[in-house]
Structures are given as structure tokens and as C-alpha cells.
Amino acid sequence: MGKKSKTINGSGLEIAEIEPLTAQQVVAFESNKHLVLYGCAGTGKTFVGCYLAYDDISKGLYEKLIIIRSAVPTRDIGYLPGTLTEKTSVYEEPYKDIAVDIFQRGDAYQILKTKNLVHFMTTSYLRGITLRDAVIVIDECQNMTFHELDSLITRVGRNCRIIFSGDFKQSDLKTNGMGDFLAVLEYMDEFDFIEFGVKDVVRSEFVKNYILAKSEL
């Protein structure tokens, strides 16, 4: 944690300066481009993406954070009670925890949502909308089809920063179309691609040791 703090406009919440913990996190913090953050679990990809988004908002560069996840998990949520909104809220939990860590308040995420500073949606809700003045964090992007990714990126309007986050080893890039999509992003030359390896695991030594052991078998 750093020493200064910044206020998220209209929320009363302060975001502390956070020092990157690994060399690859430093690269992400120093980038001023769109980002593709990829690599193994526990490396802080989603946390870094959300922190950078909140930091950019605190600087007045964008108005809000939009978090988007694949609609694929909804294949299973039909068995859960409640409305579709209530069912999909299950997938917001990681972002609530991240907000608690960043703002050191248990109700931070709810405050941000109430103030329209954070929006959560799945790829099912993208048709016909335009995303503006926002940092767009596309999480678990390895679960998305080319059609979902294509539909998503063509929704991006003026003044947006895009941050993709995912673990490509958990997905077949040829099957889901992610490989073709990444090739397009590379050709655009507007993204920094940052790979997080085992040495970047920050969740715990236990997780790092597990991933190391798994890679050896």
C-alpha cells in the first residue's frame, strides 16, 4: 500500500495508492494502452485491471467501470432460485471483494453501484448498446466465443479503455475463437499483452507451490 489516496468522484470513497508486487504488475501499471492481462491463477490479473480502472476514474479520465463476464456460466444457473439478475449477481462476488480490498470498506462496491460508477453485465446484454466514457474490464475472457468477443468490442464507443483478463491455458483457443480474436488485437497495435507466470503468483505461497507442482507432472 502507498501513502497517498484519491477520491472516486461523488462516492466519498478513497482509493489508496497500491504498489505493484511483481515485475509484470509493474508493466501493467506503467502501460497507457488497452491491455490483455493473461496467465495463471492467483497472479492478480483481475485485481490489477480493476485497480487501474478505479485509478483512471479517480484521475477524471473516465466516468465509470464496466465489468463484463461471459454468459456461458448461465447454462447452469437455470437451476438456481430467483430472477436472472439475482442469478447473475453470484458472479459479481469477486468484484465486491476487490472493492473491499481497494477501498477498505465492506460496502464500497454497493456504493459504487448506487452512484452508477460501476456496472456489471454479461455478454447476453450487449446487443444494441454503446459503451462510452468507461474503463471496460472483460474478465474470464477465455470462456468467450469469437462471436461474443466480436460483439463486445464493436460496442465500444468514445473515450474507453479496454482491459481483457483471462487464463488462456484453461481454454482451447482454436475451439472458442480466442486465438483469432487475439491475432486481430495484435494487428491493431493498440494493446499491451502482459503474461503473468508462476513467479507472479501473489495470492499465497500455497497457490504458487500448487501451480509449480502441477506444471511438473
Domain 5-216: CATH superfamily is P-loop containing nucleotide triphosphate hydrolases (3.40.50.300)
Mean per-residue pLDDT over the chain, rounded: 87
User: How many Cα atoms within 13 Å fall on the side-chain side of residue 168?
Assistant: 19
Q: Mapping DSSP to helix (H, G, I), strand (E, B) and coil, where does residue 201 land?
A: coil
Residues ≥6 apart with Cβ < 8 Å to 114: none
* Cα-Cα-Cα-Cα dihedral sign, residues 26, 38, 208, 109: positive
Indicate the pairing of strand 5-8 with strand 13-16.
antiparallel
**H-helix or E-strand spanning residue 64:** strand 64-69
Q: Hey, what's the cell of 166?
A: 483471462
Residue 25's nearest CA partner among 49, 6, 1, 4 is: 49
Residue 54's nearest CA partner among 5, 3, 127 is: 5
Percent of residues, the chain, with pLDDT higher than 90: 62
pLDDT at 168 > cutoff 50: yes
Q: What is the pLDDT of residues 6-58, one digit of tens each?
A: 888 788 899 978 889 999 999 999 999 999 999 988 999 999 999 999 999 99
- Provide the pLDDT for residue 114: 94
- pTM of the predicted model, to two decimals? 0.88
**H-helix or E-strand spanning residue 192:** strand 191-196
- Provide the pLDDT for residue 171: 63
Q: What is the pLDDT of residues 98-129, one digit of tens each?
A: 999 999 999 999 999 999 999 999 887 787 89
**Burial grade of 158 (CB within 10 A; 0-12, 13-18, 19 or more):** exposed
Are the beta carbons of 202 and 22 closer than 8 angstroms? yes
pLDDT at 75 > cutoff 50: no
How does 161-175 read in b/e, with b if 16+ C-beta sit within 10 Å?
bbbbbbbbeebeeee
The full set of domain ranges for the chain reads 5-216
